[in-house]
Amino acid sequence: MNAQSRTALATALELPRGVREPLELPAAASKPAPARRRLGIPAADPLGWLLGPALLVLVWTVGSMTGVIDARILPAPWVTVSTAIDLLREGRLQANLLISAWRAAQGLAFGVAAGVIVALIAGLSLSGGYVFDGLVQVKRSIPTLALIPLVILWFGIGETMKVTVIAISVFIPIYLNTHTALRGIETRYVELAETLGLSRWAFIRQVVLPGALPGFLLGLRFAVMAAWLALVVVEQLNATSGIGYMINLARTYAQSDVIVVGLVVYALLGLSSDLAVRTLEARTLTWRRTFAK
Amino acid sequence: MSPARAQPVVRVRNLTRRFTLKGVLNGVDLDIRKGEFVALLGRSGCGKSTLLRALAHLDHEATGEGEIVVPARLSVVFQDARLLPWKRVLDNVILGLDGVDAKARGRQALAEVELPGREASWPYELSGGEQQRVALARSLVREPELLLADEPFGALDALTRIRMHVLLKRLSAVHNPAVLLVTHDVDEAIELADRVVVMDQGRIAADIPVDLPAQGPERSVRFTQLRRQLLGRLGVEDSLAHPDPAIA
C-alpha cells in the first residue's frame, strides 16, 4: 500500500458510516488495468459428467427417429427399452445377471483374499518379498487372458475355470497396490514407532496396515474393473448362462437389441461397483482431508 | 534438586559416527544430569542431529564406536509433529501405551498442552502449532527421564514459537525430564536451556552454562552477552545477526 492510498483509507475510516470518499488513485494507475484472465478451470458440477452420456442418447434417439441409424445396425432406444422389459418379464435378464454377478463376486473374493495374503507376506518380510515379488512381476508380464487355454486344460470349461480366470485378473492389481503401499510406509513413521517402543505386531497393526489401506482400496477399484473385464471374456467362451452368453446367443440370431441391453447391463454393473468401492473408501478413509465434508 | 549435583542420566563418551552420505561425529563427550535442560546449538551439518539420533537409537545405518548410556524412558519430539493421520488425536497421544488408565492419562496430557476437548479430532483438523503440542503431549504422557527434541519449533511461525517456548519451559519444570533440545536458534537456546552446548564439525566446541538473572535489566544485558558469545562460537557477527541488541 503506498502512502497516498493509506491517507485515503485513513480519511475513509473517519467518515460517518456509509459515507465513503472516493479513493484518489495515483496518476500512473489512472488507466484501468485489464481484467486478469482466469486460467484454471472452475469447479466442476458433481452431475456434470452426465452431459456426455445424455448427448449420446439424444444423438441415438434422433438418428433412429430420422432413419439415419439403420435399425439392423443399432436398434432404436425405445426398442431397446421394450426388449429389456420383455427380458425382465420372461425372467431371462435377472437369471443371467444373477449368474454373472455370482461369478464375478466369487472371482473377486478369491482374488482379493489371495492378493492381500501374498502382499502381506511379501510386503512385511524381506524373505517373503524375495520369494513372491519376482514371481508376481513375471506373472504380470503375461496377460491373464493368455492363460485361458491352460486354465481350460486344467479345470475344464465349467464354473471353476471362469472363477479362476476372474480371480487371477483380480489378484494382480490387489497385490501390486497393496504391496507397494505396505513397502511405502514413510520412514518417519517407522522412526516414530521405534522411539515409542511399539512391538512389531503393534507396529504392523497400528501403523503399517492403516497406512496401506488407501493403496489397497485403489487396488480394489482396479480389481473390480478387472473382474468385469475377465467376466465378459470368459462368458463369451463356452458359456451356457450369464449376460455374456445372452449376448452371444443374440448375435447368433442377429438380435442387436438384446446385445445392446446386455452392454447397458455391463455398464451399469461396472459403474455401480465402482461407486460401491468409492463409498467404501469414503467410509474408511475419513481421516483423509480429501474425503472430509 | 539442583541439576549441578544430580546424577547424570545421559553419558556419552568418545562417540564417533560415520555415514556414507551425511553426518559425522568425531569423538563426542556429553553428560546431561537429571532434570537438566541442555540446548545443542550448531550450524547445519555440524552433527547435532546425528548426535540426537544416536541417543535415540535411530541411526541404524551408521557405523562408529563409543559409549552411550541413556535412560530407558526416552521420548523424541521431531521437527514435524509426526502424528499418524489415521488416528484421532487421543489415540496418537497414547499410541503404544497400554493399561486401563492410558486414555485418562492421554486426556490429562492433552489438557496440559492446552488442547482439552480435541481428543476426537483428526490430525489434519489441527494447525501446525496444535499438532506439535499433541506431539509434546505424546512425549510427556510417557513420563520420560530424557526428552530429545530435534528442532521442534523450526517449522512454526514466530508467534506460535514463543507460545511453545513458554509451554515447554513450564512442562519441563513440572515433569522434570532431562532435555536435549537441538536448535539453530541462539535466542531459543538461551531462553530455554540451563546449559548451551555448541557443536562444530562433529565435536563439542563449547559448553556454556546459562546464568540469566530471573528478571530486570541485568537479565537482558546478560542475555545479549550470552548471545554475542554463542554467535561468536558459531562464527556470526552479532551486529550483523541483530542490528538492535535491545531486542531480547
B85 contacts chain A (CB < 8 A): yes
DSSP B12-51: EEEEEEE-SSS-EEEEEEEEEETT-EEEEEE-TTSSHHHH
Mean pLDDT on A169-175: 96
d(CA A222, CA A212): 16
A224 vs B14: which has the higher pLDDT: A224
- What is the pLDDT of chain B when averaged over all its residues? 87
Interval B89-109 mean pLDDT: 92
Q: Is the pLDDT of residue A292 over 80?
A: no
Q: Which residue has the cell 492389481?
A: A173
Q: What is the pLDDT of residue B248?
A: 42
Residue B248 to residue B245: CA distance in whole angstroms: 7
List domains and CATH numbers for chain A.
76-284 (1.10.3720.10)
Mean pLDDT to the nearest integer, A250-274: 91
pTM attached to this predicted model: 0.78
B84 CB neighbours in chain A (<8 A) are 189, 192, 206-207, 210-211
Q: What is the pLDDT of residue B1?
A: 42
Mutate to test the interface with A, among B76, B86, B121 (most CBs of A within 10 A): B86
Whether B122 has its CB under 8 Å from any CB of chain A: the answer is yes
- Chosen for mutation from B57, B79, B84 (greatest number of chain A CBs closer than 10 Å) is B84
Cell of B241: 545477526
Taking contacts as CB-CB distances below 8 angstroms, the residues of chain B near A202 are 96
- For residue A213, the chain B residues in CB contact (below 8 A) are 86
CA A150, distance to chain mean position in Å, is: 30
Across B136-141, average pLDDT: 94
CATH domain B1-73+146-238 topology: Rossmann fold (3.40.50)
Is residue B25 within 8 Å of B51, Cβ to Cβ?
Answer: yes
CA angle at B46 for the pair A186 and A189, rounded to the nearest 5°: 15
pLDDT attached to residue A78 = 92
Residues of chain A with pLDDT > 70: what percent? Answer: 88
Q: Judge whether B15 and B69 are in contact, CB under 8 Å.
A: no
A189 contacts in chain B (CB < 8 Å): 82, 84
